Amino acid sequence: MSYRTRLTLMERLKNSGDEKSWDEFNEIYRRFIYSIVRSMYVEAHLIDDLIQDVLLSVWKALPGFEYDPEKGRFSSWLATITINRVKSTQLKRQRQGARDQKAFENEKELDEGDLEHLVNREWAAFLTKTAWQNVSKELSPVMKDCFEGVIAGKKVRDIGKELDIPENTVSIYKKRVSVIMRREIHRLEEELN
């Protein structure tokens, strides 16, 4: 998938709100929103509804959204909306007495440092997964299998035996794909954040 720049996408959404642009936004950022919602110990049966609530909140906030890199990253703005929506929903459910206490026993209060760490961790995971989805389509099956073996923590020797290729070829593929992944992650970071 080739992403248009985030700022261009934001402008299209702010000015026209067309369905194609919204679908593109949803495709790009939904996994990031999902990862934050999951990190906040949300009950599994509530996740999809919460994600929809977050997307609706974003849609409502877009007309007034003005990107200012001095104020922070786009991913932080999106994460703040997500976290606020989750907390709001949790408080509402708590007040209504419908909250499942056991699901929230492990919940901890997030301070600013924890929140920033959570956002950065989930953003990095989102970028890595998205980069791999983009890059893996362009790799030969052997290079893809080789790198997936490396990611899984297998030894170079074992990967070589499994794929019937020399160990030095495994090392070369590992380095090549690592460079490609770093470039793609950098590109996505620049484009999406």
Each of the 193 residues of the chain gets a pLDDT tens digit; together they read 444 456 677 777 776 667 888 888 888 899 999 999 988 888 888 899 999 999 888 888 877 777 777 877 888 888 889 998 888 887 777 776 644 554 454 455 555 567 778 888 889 999 999 999 999 999 999 999 999 998 899 999 999 999 999 999 999 999 999 999 999 999 998 888 7
Q: Distance (Å, rounded) from C-alpha 113 to C-alpha 109?
A: 11
What's residue 59's pLDDT?
A: 84
Q: Distance (Å, rounded) from C-alpha 174 to C-alpha 24?
A: 32
What's residue 102's pLDDT?
A: 47
What's residue 92's pLDDT?
A: 79
- Residues in Cβ contact with 171 at an 8 Å cutoff, skipping those fewer than 6 apart: 156
Helix (H) or strand (E) holding 58: helix 47-61
What's residue 71's pLDDT?
A: 79
Which CATH number describes the domain made up of 1-126? 1.10.1740.10
Tell me which residue of 112, 134, 142 sits closest to 181, measured CA to CA: 134
Tokens coding 114: 């924890």
What's residue 130's pLDDT?
A: 92
What's residue 1's pLDDT?
A: 45
What's residue 162's pLDDT?
A: 92
- Interval 137-177: pLDDT, tens: 999 999 999 999 988 999 999 999 999 999 999 999 999 99
What's residue 175's pLDDT?
A: 93
Q: pTM higher than 0.85, yes or no?
A: no
What's residue 110's pLDDT?
A: 52
Domains of the chain, by residue range, sit at: 1-126, 138-193
Q: Distance (Å, rounded) from C-alpha 130 to C-alpha 133?
A: 5
What's residue 63's pLDDT?
A: 78
Query: Position 129: which residue type?
Result: K
